[in-house]
Structure formats: C-alpha cells, structure tokens
Amino acid sequence: MYLSDKQIAERYAVSRKTVWDWAKTDPAFPNPMKLSPGCTRWKLDELEAWENARRAA
C-alpha cells in the first residue's frame, strides 16, 4: 500500500511541508517513490518501520 504526502500528514498530524522536510533532512525517513509524473508516494510498510525505529530510540 502506498500513501501520499497528504495521507502521511494526516497520519502524523503535521503539514504536507513537514513531510517533505522529513524526506529531505531525516536520513531515516523512507524515500518517496515517483510512480508517475506528479504522483509521488511512500510505502506504508517502510513508514511503519520508521515509526517503530523512532519508538525504540
């Protein structure tokens, strides 16, 4: 399953800009996948792994 920046922002109660900031500045944050022009998504399982790693830290 893939999530958009809007869905991720809603999931973590942050802005869409924050999602993109994490993608640019946090090396642990999953890399987005460009599925087509204008369609970038993140894999849900990679986001869940990132969540779990943050909880463990």
Cβ atoms within 10 Å of 20's Cβ, excluding its own: 15
Integer Cα distance of 33 and 13 in angstroms = 22
Provide the residue ranges of all domains of the chain, joining segments of one domain with +: 2-56
Question: How many Cα atoms occupy the beta-carbon half-sphere of 31 within 13 Å?
Answer: 4
**Position 10: which residue type?**
E
Q: Give the model confidence (pLDDT) of 1-51 as tens digits.
A: 999 999 999 999 999 999 999 999 999 999 999 999 999 999 999 999 999
**3-state SS, residue 30:** coil
| pLDDT score of 12 | 96
Integer Cα distance of 9 and 16 in angstroms = 5
Between 57 and 35, residue with greater pLDDT:
35
